[in-house]
Structure 1
Amino acid sequence: MDGEAVLLLGLHSIVNLIKTKEILKKDMDTSEVIHSVKVKRTLFNRKGVEINSEEAIESILQGKLIVYSKEKNIMLQFEPLPKELTRSIEPPANENVLQGPLDSFIEDMSTNIGIVRKKVSTAQLSVKTYTVGSDQKKSLSIVYLNDRADKSMIKKIISHIEMNQHTNILYLQHLYRFMGMRKWEVIPQFNNTEMPLEAVDGLNKGKVILFVDGYPFALILPHLLWDMFVQANDRNYAYPIMSAIRFLRVLGALITLIFPAIYVALVAVNPEILKIELALSIAQSREGIPYPPFVEITIMLLILELIIEASIRLPLSIGPTVTMVGGIVIGQAVVDAKLVSNLLIIIVAATSIANSSVVGFQNALILRLLKYVVVIFASIYGVLGILSGLVFISAYFASREIFGIPYISLAKRRGEIG
């Protein structure tokens, strides 16, 4: 500018550098101040503040622009035009928030990183961005806190990215293979969230965030078992209330896994466990039903799965109405037709409600799948089969690792992680 070079320092994700440079150049060109002090005087007129290098780092993290003149060795803090972090920023569409921030990630990766930077103002925040894909290029960023994240885990993630940099990422299944994860793995490898509060909480726990351009979610690594029951927003409540809410989520997961299996075990295999009055009541409710309890409950669970899928696929204007009416009509019809018992309708409804109590839709999908494993064990071995199924699931969870961290971990070497 006017023969004198200056260096502009700022974060592209939260500063509109292009428009800011235009305004700065316009001020320089129209200034009548003599050349020797033009840079300093012009910026001071626009509320520039001379600062040192340590203050400059803090200012950059807060979204300020730093103008450095090498010739005069002057470093000035400048209030730039901020980048509009908008789609606009809307409340989460897939996750409900109570007493927490009502913002969510959008499809623009730079905007998402800017949202995180506004909430985590520290020099320890690191962002590494890569361009991946052979013919369909996409940007992929990893975000973590240097002083909290596990260094070995970060090295593994970066090595997978660098080895597979020419692999196209169109869906999350591609990302699983991209990161070296098994194709048929049941448990989710990432904790998907559209809430910045959850992403920031993950960073503070030493986790790593992945952002994929065009995907309006943060992918939190590693995803552990305890994440099924814990939400960052819980800490906005009093401790006893937070503990009670988390206990209800654990109880909901157990109900989802055990209730259908208990019905099969007690009705078909071990009816002698029940009191005689209860056994007679159940037998009376099943009078006229032409097939065994295992077939009965499998049919109802599959119908419930179809209703849930239909509620997701149908338009929002008619989806809830169709699924509610369909559920009521089908439930009443199958009971009147003596195809299932009244007790089974209660159990299926309770299972459906309990399944929705855990955190994250992907975690609810795990429980929806694993409950069939326990039902199969219960249909063969009865009550012992329920215990065997739970032991099998626990052993499977205990054998899983995500980038060297056991799935059932509650803590890491650097403090709490769950």
Structure 2
Amino acid sequence: MKIWLEEIKTVFKECDDFFLQHDYLYNQPVILFGLSTLIDIPQTKKLIEINLNMPKYSLQEVIDHHLVKVAREQNNIIDAILEGKIILYIPDFEKYMIMEVISKSLNRSIELPTNENVIQDALDSFIEDIDTNIGIIRKHFRTKFLITKVISTGIEQEKKIALLGLEAHVNQNLMRKIETQLKEKHDQEIHNAQSLVKTLGFSAWDIVPKYKSTEIPTEVIASLKKGKVVLIIDDFPFALIFPNFLWDMFTTENERNLPIPLMLFIRVLRVIGVIVATLMPGLYVALVSVNPEVLQLELGLSIAQSREGVPYPALVEVLMMLVILELILEASVRLPKSIGPTLTMVGGIILGQAIISAKLVSNLLTIVVAGTTIANATVVGIQNHLMLRLLKYVIVILAAIYGVLGIIVGTVLICAYFASINVYGISYLDYQVSKDESNNG
């Protein structure tokens, strides 16, 4: 047992926040050690003295009656230290006791959602602590049928992953496969969503996400009622919902607080937005450069007049504008919030006006690109937003080669690709609703 203490000192010899203090308890010499960055040491020592200084028990009786948790292996001690526990070592008994502590406050408070806008719904969101996130879900969803399974993965950095499902609703086969996959690859390090996808056996190159991520608890609860499986990862302020369906990019739970006609109107707008964002740039290329005969004479002459003096073919013109717009969108994400929106808005206006004045692109293309960008932002979820931004280039290139026929071929290929995607046998094109929603939109 004394050898353990020396080996533990060796493990943490490069850690300046590792502390080791000598003290007395029941007039017995003891040693306290742990990580000072995770523990409120003065308050924790007071807590230990209050809990262990019980007059009717001796220190030996406290240990023998299992009133404290005694560490049996050296690895248990190291894991407990990394989890923020304090270790009490009694040299006379050669016992290591894992004690509960008063931790330092290292988590941010529950705040408003920052990545998703909420309309007429609860305004709390998930944070980085897994226990707090599960507690938020239980607060909003008071039921005894909530299944919660916690699995640890990783060797260098142990990560806790919680699987949540609603008993009698959850797809048991899906939950069993995800649980089995995580347990079989428990040695895999999970640092981000890509590593999680690889651990679950999916390709990290798929542009269509296998999961839906959300920071809103009510979205998680709605998904649990539909029989989906929810993954909550420690240090990750989002819940991952499996599986993700095509229909999920058009629906959100908080819009159910609106009357059904208004809810359906919003969803129809999102469907139109997806069609416009995907097909409009390709349609411009096809009608301008390959199939101008499809247009009415007046419209064709108007488009030709708007492109008068433009030196580039339609494909180069469209790709140049789309790439510039992608750069502006990316800059708006990376710049500080205080100057990002202003700089990108002013830069976009000035740059767009300068390009038109220089006759590098047509006025009509500016309208097409602006409409595409606005329509692209109507879908639900950042993954779906990025996916549509990428798919429109496929349509543009095929439209430049085959015209309107290329748009049709591209649409068929995209639909076939969507149909080929599945999560453990569940198709991406599946449609799933809970019983209480089947008659209410």
TM-score by length of 2: 0.75
d(CA) in 1 for partners of 2:273, 2:227: 28
Partner of 2:397: 376
How far 1:292 sits from its partner (Å)?
Answer: 0.6
Partner of 1:207: 228
d(CA) in 2 for partners of 1:215, 1:396: 30
Say if 2:254 is the partner of 1:233.
yes
Contact 2:226 2:433 in 1 (8 A): no
How far 1:124 sits from its partner (Å)?
Answer: 1.1
Structure 1 residues 53-88: Cα deviation after superposition (integer angstroms, max 9, x where no partner):
xxxxxxxxxxxxxxxxxxxxxxxxxxxxxxx9x832
Contact 2:226 2:434 in 1 (8 A): no
Aligned to 1:91, which of 85, 107, 112? 112
3-state DSSP of counterpart to 1:192: strand
Highest RCO, 1 vs 2 (Cα 8 Å, sep ≥ 6): 1
Partner of 1:326: 347
Contact 1:127 1:144 in 2 (8 A): yes
Structure 1 residues 35-64: Cα deviation after superposition (integer angstroms, max 9, x where no partner):
xxxxxxxxxxxxxxxxxxxxxxxxxxxxxx
Q: For 1:105, give the aligned amino acid.
A: F
d(CA) in 1 for partners of 2:433, 2:176: 17
d(CA) in 2 for partners of 1:386, 1:377: 6
Say if 2:408 is the partner of 1:391.
no
Partner of 2:273: 252
Say if 2:327 is the partner of 1:306.
yes
Aligned to 1:276, which of 281, 287, 297? 297
Structure 1 residues 111-165: Cα deviation after superposition (integer angstroms, max 9, x where no partner):
0000001112111101100111011111111111111011111111011001110
Contact 2:281 2:396 in 1 (8 A): yes
3-state DSSP of counterpart to 1:363: helix
**Bigger shift: residues 408-417 or 356-365:** 408-417
- What does residue range 13-92 of structure 1 map to in structure 2 within 5 Å? 87-92=108-113
Contact 2:292 2:300 in 1 (8 A): yes
Contact 1:206 1:414 in 2 (8 A): no
- Cα separation, partners in 2 of 1:145 and 1:131, compared to 1, 3 Å: same
Partner of 1:13: none
Contact 1:89 1:105 in 2 (8 A): yes
Aligned structure 1 segments of 4 or more residues deviating by more than 3 angstroms: 412-418
Contact 2:279 2:407 in 1 (8 A): yes
Backbone CA RMSD of aligned residues: 2.2
Q: For 2:378, give the aligned amino acid.
A: S
**Bigger shift: residues 174-183 or 404-413:** 404-413
Structure 1 residues 226-248: Cα deviation after superposition (integer angstroms, max 9, x where no partner):
00000001100000000000000
TM-score by length of 1: 0.79
Query: Any stretches of 5+ residues in structure 1 without a counterpart?
Result: 1-18, 31-83
Partner of 1:400: 421
Say if 2:195 is the partner of 1:174.
yes
- Give me the identity figure in percent: 52
d(CA) in 2 for partners of 1:141, 1:130: 6
Q: For 1:264, give the aligned amino acid.
A: V
